[in-house]
Chain A
Amino acid sequence: MFANLILLIGITLMYSTPLIFGALGGVISERSGVTNIGIEGMMVIGAVAAATASYFTGNPWIGFLAAGACGALVALLHAVASVSFAADQTISGVAINMLAPGLALFACRRFFDGAAMTPIAPKLPKILGESGLAGTAFANLNVNVTTVLALVFTVIMWFVLYKTKWGLRVRAVGEHPAAADTLGIDVYKVRYCCVILSGMLAGFGGASMTIAIIAQFTQTAISGHGFIAMAAVIFGKWTPFGAYGACLLFGFTQALVIMLGGGDFVVPSQILSMLPYAMTIIVLILFVGRSVAPKADGVPYVKGSR
Chain B
Amino acid sequence: MSKLEKFLRGRFAAAVVAVLVGFAISAIVLAAAGYNPIGSFAALFNGAFGRPKYIANVIIKATPILLTGVSVAFAFKTGLFNIGAEGQYILGTTLATIVGVKLNLPMPLQVPIVLASGIIGGAALGAFVGWLKAHFGIHEVITSIMCNWIAFYLCNFVVMSDAFHKPNSTSALQVNGSSYTMILGNWKKSPDGKAFLKGIPWLREIVAKTDLNYGFIIAVIVAILISVVLTRTKLGYELRAVGFNRDAARFSGISVERNIVLSMLIAGAISGLAGALTITGISPHTITLLAAMESYGFNGMSVAFIAACSPLGCIPASILFASLIYGGMSVQQVMGAPSDIINIMIGTIVFFTALPGVTPMLADMVAKKRKEQESIKVSKDGTPLPEKEV
In the bound complex, residues from chain A placing their C-beta under 8 Å from that of B139 are 234
User: In terms of DSSP, what is the predominant structure of the interface of chain A?
Assistant: helix
Q: Are B350 and A95 in contact, CB atoms less than 8 angstroms apart?
A: yes
Interchain CB contact under 8 A, B136 and A284:
yes
Residue numbers in B under 8 Å from A273 (CB-CB): 153
Complex Cα spacing A228 to B145, Å:
8
Separation of A227 and B298 alpha carbons in the complex (Å): 13
Asked if B354 and A92 make an inter-chain contact with CB atoms under 8 angstroms apart, the answer reads yes
Contact A224 B298 (CB under 8 A): no
Contact at A77–B146, with CB atoms within 8 Å?
no
Please give the distance in Å from A112's CB to the nearest CB on chain B. Answer: 11
Q: Contacts A223-B292, A270-B160 hold; do A99 and B344 have CB atoms under 8 A apart?
A: yes
The yes or no answer to A103 lying at the interface (CB within 8 A) is yes
Q: Mark B56-80, 1 if CB is under 8 A from A, else 0.
A: 0000000000000000000000000
Inter-chain contact A102/B298, CB cutoff 8 Å: no
- Of A142-150, A199-207, A275-283, the one touching chain B: A275-283
A95 touches B153 (CB 8 A): no
Q: Which residues of B contact A97 (CB under 8 A)?
A: 298, 347
Complex Cα spacing A281 to B128, Å: 11
Q: Verify if B305 is at the interface (C-beta below 8 Å from A).
A: yes
B354 in contact with A95 (CB, 8 Å): yes
* B301 pairs with A94, CB closer than 8 A: yes
**CB <8 Å contact, B141 and A37:** yes
CB of A288 closer than 8 Å to a CB of B: yes
Q: Which residues of B contact A (CB under 8 A)?
A: 29, 33, 81, 83, 132, 136-139, 141-143, 145-150, 153-154, 156-157, 160-161, 291-293, 298, 301-302, 305, 336, 338, 340-351, 353-358
Which 10 pairs between the two chains have the least Cβ-Cβ distance?
A99-B347, A102-B343, A289-B137, A95-B351, A98-B347, A91-B354, A270-B157, A95-B350, A109-B338, A105-B340
Task: Name 25 A/B residue pairs within 8 A (Cβ), A-sorted.
Answer: A87-B355, A91-B351, A92-B354, A95-B348, A95-B353, A96-B347, A98-B302, A101-B340, A101-B343, A102-B345, A103-B344, A105-B343, A106-B341, A109-B338, A219-B292, A220-B291, A224-B148, A270-B154, A273-B153, A274-B149, A277-B146, A281-B138, A284-B136, A284-B143, A288-B136
